[in-house]
Structure 1
Amino acid sequence: MSQVLDEISTAIKNLSLESSVVRVINDEDLYKNLLNHFVKGGDRRWWWESFNVESNSKSFSDGLGYKRLPVIVPDKDEVVWFMVEDDQLPNYPIFECSISNAVKIIGECFAFEYYLISKNLQWLLCENHHDRVIGIGSKLDFGNAI
């Protein structure tokens, strides 16, 4: 297992999140479909460097951008794909969980880049190592994220 997956597994355990609310998705085809849908030019370490449509973003110098996610997304309880960057693995790990649970998990872990992706592919939200939250999709609202 990778360091990122170890950290996430520990966070899930510490938060007492059952597998019914945070599910690991082992699907290379899903990864490739998401990559092809959102990124131009093929696989790369940082998807946010090459989104295939215009994005919006906001920096949070306090390093707590993840805490603002529930006010940016259309529904904080929506079940989404939570994908974490991990360069030790051939594909980024993908989990299925609510945005609220993803925020809890992120809060328990060391810093890593992640992507929250609506299952209908209408939006994508990520945070990079520059403390910048970046989003694609008209349903995202950065206006309330202070």
Structure 2
Amino acid sequence: MGEVAREIEDAIAILNLSADIVSKIDYQHNEALYYELLAYFVDGRDRRWWWEAFKSSFSFNDFEYPPDHLKRIIPNLERKVWLMIEDVQEKFYPIYDVDPNYIPDILNNCFHFEYYIIDKDYDWLLCENHHRHVIGVGAVLKLHNLHLIS
């Protein structure tokens, strides 16, 4: 298990979150999902920083600490999403099935790393990169956040 995945697992344990709230996608399904998401959202080949080649993206206004704003950015807090974390020690990035209301708590218990929050219908993707810049993909996300887009 990579260092970032260990951070997430430790945060889940510290917060005592049940599998109903957050669960790691099993390895085989994770690999297939990773490559499906890559093909859907990114132009070209696999790369470390997906945000460098999103097919269509927009930038959010700068936030001092982006995780504090996720609950108002995410279009629907009632549906689980995928949380994909950049962990270069893994063959492909680990993906978690998670209730979006808990993502800020999880991230607040970790060191900073790039992550992607992805709608399970592939309607939108939200990314925070290593510069703390927030990038979005998808019309649903954009319409929900017109007042926050630079």
Q: Could you state the TM-score of these two structures normalised by the residue count of structure 2? A: 0.89
In structure 2, what is the Cα distance between the partners aligned to 1:44 and 1:14?
A: 32
Is 1:58 aligned to residue 61 of structure 2? yes
Matches of residues 105-124 of structure 1 in structure 2 within 5 Å?
105-124=106-125
In structure 2, what is the Cα distance between the partners aligned to 1:82 and 1:102?
A: 8
| Conserved 8 A contact 2:81-2:117 | yes
Match of 1:139 in 2: 140
| Conserved 8 A contact 1:84-1:114 | yes
Cα shift at 1:77: 3.3
Match of 1:4 in 2: 4
Cα shift at 1:56: 3.0
Coordinate RMSD, CA, aligned: 1.4
Cα shift at 1:67: 1.1
| Conserved 8 A contact 2:61-2:148 | no
Q: Pick from 41, 45, 63: which aligns with 1:42?
A: 45
Q: Could you state the TM-score of these two structures normalised by the residue count of structure 1? A: 0.92
Cα shift at 1:55: 2.3
Q: Which runs of 4+ in 1 moved over 4 A?
A: none
In structure 1, what is the Cα distance between the partners aligned to 2:57 and 2:5?
A: 30
Match of 1:130 in 2: 131
Amino acid at match of 2:147: G
Cα shift at 1:144: 5.2
In structure 2, what is the Cα distance between the partners aligned to 1:101 and 1:29?
A: 25
In structure 2, what is the Cα distance between the partners aligned to 1:2 and 1:73?
A: 27
State the number of aligned residues: 143
Query: Among the aligned pairs, what percent are the same residue?
Result: 43
| Conserved 8 A contact 1:79-1:97 | yes
Q: Pick from 27, 32, 52: which aligns with 1:29?
A: 32
List runs of 5+ in structure 2 lacking aligned partners.
Answer: none
| Conserved 8 A contact 2:60-2:148 | no
Amino acid at match of 1:25: I
Name the stretch that deviates more: 81-90 or 69-78: 69-78
Residue 90 of structure 2 aligns to a residue whose secondary structure is coil
Q: Deviation string for 1:56-99 (max 9, x for gaps)?
A: 32322x2x101111111211232001000011111000000111
Residue 6 of structure 1 aligns to a residue whose secondary structure is helix
Greater strand share, structure number = 1
